[in-house]
Structure 1
Amino acid sequence: HISVAKAAHLLGMFHRPIRNWDTSMSFDGCVAVITAGTTSTGEIEPLDAARYASWRHVDAAWAGPLMLSETHRHQLAGIEHADSVAVSAHKWLFQPKESAMVLFADVEAAHASVSFGADYLAVPNIGVLGSHGATAVPLLATLLAYGREGVAAWIDHSVELADQLVRHIEAEPNLEIRTAPQSGVVNWRHTSIDANEVQRRLPADVFISTTTIDGEPWLRSVGANPMADAAQVVAAVASLAVP
């Protein structure tokens, strides 16, 4: 994710993307960032990679909440060995945009490294941000209202919507899937119309993002809205007239 490159730049660290993780690779003296749910494709990288890195961080911004699902949590096997895990609550925890969290294996050591006190503070200020809004309150309210089981049901339904989308696409002769979705992200396209042109011509009530994979444009549909209508989305694309 672009945030990893930004963080490395701000910290003055060298950043090198890893396309294919090899468990035999040495990461001594390095911070290894493994992604659970890549932005473009939803791929979950091998979470047992980089075992000997100085620090192992899992960017689980997208797929992290799968841990709440008894059906899908097996996809995150190995995440428990990470030193830190980041989760964007505004995605599969259905929260406002700025809601996010980072979890540490050693909470006390993490707090000590980013804890700053002052004479005018009743308790130390922990983290990069100083004063900020109570972004955790909506998440707390959601969990209190629906519980783990309720939120997990939303996630399971969202994954099922992505699978429904795939089935609808496969039923249309002029549409194709790039690969089966791993975590609710579907890459697909019209066989005769460029993905960017498809997006431009869609009706106002249908939104599909695009991404570029290996130099080729693809439509990108994300199972993040439990209320979405997969059939409507596919029908809107399949009905476009070929220029």
Structure 2
Amino acid sequence: MPDLTPDEFRTLGHLFVDAVADARAGIEHQPVRDDVAPGTVRARFAREAAEHPAPLAGFPELVEAVTGDADTRWQHPGFHAFFPANASLTSLLGDLLSGAAGAQGMLWSTSPACTEVEQAITDQLARALGLPEDFTHDGGGGGAIQDSASSAALVALTAALHRAAPDPECGWRVRGVTGRERVYVTSETHSSLAKAARVAGLGGTGLHTVPCSPGTRSMDPAALRAAMRADAEAGCVPVLVCATVGTTSTGASDPVAAIVATAAEHAAWVHVDAAWAGVAALCPEHRWVVDGVAGADSFCTDAHKWLLTAFDASLFWVRDAAALPAALSITPPYLRDAASASGAVVDFRDWQIPLGRRFRALKLWAVLHGQGLSGLRAHLRGHIALAGELADRIRRHDDLELACEPVLSLVCLRASAGDTATTALLERVNADGRVLLSGTEIDGRPVVRVAFGAVGTNREHLEQLWDILTATP
């Protein structure tokens, strides 16, 4: 059966866009998360795929019938759990153009536009965030859009391992890790670093958990120095330190500059994971989130969390543009061409784990074009203001207390009556259906997290949340 003609696509496209617009328009009237039993959606599918085609005009209604009562609505303005996932309609327009192009941008020559738009956009954003010029493609480094911060961490670790044990013939990839390589994190570091260490073959002993400074949830530079020296004296190789800015649990940040100075004593790679918080540097008053990054080797922040860009779009920069190809480039004959051999172009296949890559930069370009930096700053500042007001209300309330000081748009709280009451509070709030929060632990005690950031969240939704939080059980 032939593909749709352009005219058929045009007609169906209007129906599909209407379905998306209708869903967004009515999302606030739906619960944030449906109460559904495992297997519900799968049971609605026949065992075998359909043999004959069906009209696509009815497909949006079919999707709604099968999945519409079994979802967690991440774009709901009452979604305050985890961290946001900003699939703005603006970014969806760019994603439509990306999908239509169908480009496979593994090499510059397979899509010069895909490559060079990404270079231009990541350079613009590096400057807008206040990163040093040597993190730009113009300045000797550069940015690439990964699928997630998890992939960015694995790419950074791969480059760090290669730099720690270079081999002009085959690199560490073929020789394998020795079992003596060490990666340094804290108990607050995202689990993606532990997974990256596992994927890289470092095993459980390769991950060294450094204590936090007393009374904080931030890496203790003195403890890091002691750990790295002890490992080096024992014949181990300090390879990478992950400094987090805005941890998932509580928004805590590690002292990046001090970590950079300590890591330099062993030539270890410093990767800064600012997946959630990093975009706040677009606001001059929150430029603290990139303090110390000038000395780091890599920096990551997610456009798909809090920057109005639909998943997946994780922004990853390095100071040395040669570091990633040195570790990741494998070039069989079928990937060789004159442009790559000239050294005048970037082949982004060498900046990531997979070979293939999508034209992700188009949706980010659409957001920058449609919102401008001023619109993005307003988006960020609005949520930060809501978090500040919520924190002030909690301080004045007899039955609630802050578990730690708020960070940007994240507020962590407890019930004053104790841990059992805190757990019950989270369950009661989520059972209401109009909002969704998530929990964590601090020092073994349960905590309720409120992470403002959904595209449509405004003061009205703060009032709604407050009413639910303070309602009599």
TM-score by length of 2: 0.48
Count of matched residue positions in the alignment of Structure 1 and Structure 2: 241
Aligned in 2, Cα 1:16/1:165: closer, same or farther, shift over 3 Å?
Answer: same
Q: Amino acid of the residue matched to residue 15 of structure 1?
A: L
Question: How much has 1:71 moved relative to structure 2?
Answer: 1.4
What corresponds to 2:367 in structure 1? 142
- Larger strand proportion, structure 1 or 2? 1
Question: How much has 1:103 moved relative to structure 2?
Answer: 0.7
Provide the C-alpha distance between the structure 2 equivalents of 1:11 and 1:120, rounded to a whole number of angstroms: 27
Question: How much has 1:166 moved relative to structure 2?
Answer: 0.7
What corresponds to 1:77 in structure 2? 291
Q: Return the match for 1:224 from 449, 453, 458.
A: 453
What corresponds to 1:5 in structure 2? 194
What corresponds to 2:13 in structure 1? none
Provide the C-alpha distance between the structure 2 equivalents of 1:225 and 1:112, rounded to a whole number of angstroms: 39
Question: How much has 1:87 moved relative to structure 2?
Answer: 1.3
Could you give the per-residue CA deviations for residues 159-217 of structure 1, whole angstroms, max 9, x where no partner exists?
Answer: 11110111222232211111211232211022235333223222111111111111111
- Larger helix proportion, structure 1 or 2? 2
Q: Return the match for 1:87 from 301, 304, 316.
A: 301
Provide the C-alpha distance between the structure 1 equivalents of 2:395 and 2:366, rounded to a whole number of angstroms: 39
1:83–1:106 contact (8 Å) kept in structure 2 = yes
Provide the C-alpha distance between the structure 2 equivalents of 1:94 and 1:194, rounded to a whole number of angstroms: 35
Question: How much has 1:73 moved relative to structure 2?
Answer: 0.8
Greater mean alpha carbon deviation, residues 4-13 or residues 226-235: 226-235
Aligned in 2, Cα 1:80/1:89: closer, same or farther, shift over 3 Å?
Answer: same
What corresponds to 1:199 in structure 2? 426
1:165–1:231 contact (8 Å) kept in structure 2 = no
1:157 is the counterpart of 2:353: no
Q: Amino acid of the residue matched to residue 444 of structure 2?
A: G
What corresponds to 2:187 in structure 1? none
Task: Give ranges in structure 1 of 5+ residues lacking alignment.
Answer: none
Provide the C-alpha distance between the structure 2 equivalents of 1:136 and 1:204, rounded to a whole number of angstroms: 35
Aligned in 2, Cα 1:149/1:114: closer, same or farther, shift over 3 Å?
Answer: farther
1:168–1:231 contact (8 Å) kept in structure 2 = no
1:177–1:189 contact (8 Å) kept in structure 2 = yes
Q: Amino acid of the residue matched to residue 46 of structure 1?
A: P
Greater mean alpha carbon deviation, residues 35-44 or residues 8-17: 8-17
Q: Amino acid of the residue matched to residue 423 of structure 2?
A: N
Q: Secondary structure at the match of 1:107?
A: coil
Q: Secondary structure at the match of 1:134?
A: coil
1:199–1:207 contact (8 Å) kept in structure 2 = no
Provide the C-alpha distance between the structure 2 equivalents of 1:149 and 1:59, rounded to a whole number of angstroms: 25
Provide the C-alpha distance between the structure 2 equivalents of 1:223 and 1:76, rounded to a whole number of angstroms: 21
Greater mean alpha carbon deviation, residues 218-227 or residues 31-40: 218-227
Provide the C-alpha distance between the structure 2 equivalents of 1:84 and 1:95, rounded to a whole number of angstroms: 22
1:37 is the counterpart of 2:251: no
Provide the C-alpha distance between the structure 1 equivalents of 2:208 and 2:422, rounded to a whole number of angstroms: 29
Greater mean alpha carbon deviation, residues 93-102 or residues 210-219: 93-102
What corresponds to 1:118 in structure 2? 332
Identity over aligned pairs, percent: 29
1:64 is the counterpart of 2:278: yes
2:277–2:289 contact (8 Å) kept in structure 1 = no
Q: Secondary structure at the match of 1:44?
A: coil
Provide the C-alpha distance between the structure 2 equivalents of 1:52 and 1:107, rounded to a whole number of angstroms: 23
Q: Return the match for 1:19 from 202, 211, 218.
A: 211
TM-score by length of 1: 0.90
Larger Rg: 2
Provide the C-alpha distance between the structure 1 equivalents of 2:292 and 2:315, rounded to a whole number of angstroms: 19
Q: State the Cα RMSD in Å.
A: 2.0
Q: Amino acid of the residue matched to residue 275 of structure 2?
A: A
2:299–2:318 contact (8 Å) kept in structure 1 = yes
Q: Per chain length, whose mean CA-contact separation is higher, i.e. which structure has more relative contact order (CA < 8 Å, sep 6+)? A: 2
Q: Amino acid of the residue matched to residue 199 of structure 1?
A: L
Question: How much has 1:96 moved relative to structure 2?
Answer: 2.0
Q: Amino acid of the residue matched to residue 195 of structure 1?
A: T
Q: Secondary structure at the match of 1:16?
A: strand
1:176–1:188 contact (8 Å) kept in structure 2 = yes
Question: How much has 1:76 moved relative to structure 2?
Answer: 2.8
Provide the C-alpha distance between the structure 1 equivalents of 2:400 and 2:241, rounded to a whole number of angstroms: 37
Aligned in 2, Cα 1:176/1:146: closer, same or farther, shift over 3 Å?
Answer: same
The structure 1 segments of at least 4 consecutive aligned residues displaced by more than 6 Å after TM superposition are none
Greater mean alpha carbon deviation, residues 129-138 or residues 82-91: 129-138
Provide the C-alpha distance between the structure 1 equivalents of 2:327 and 2:464, rounded to a whole number of angstroms: 50
Task: Give ranges in structure 2 of 5+ residues lacking alignment.
Answer: 1-189, 213-218, 233-237, 341-346
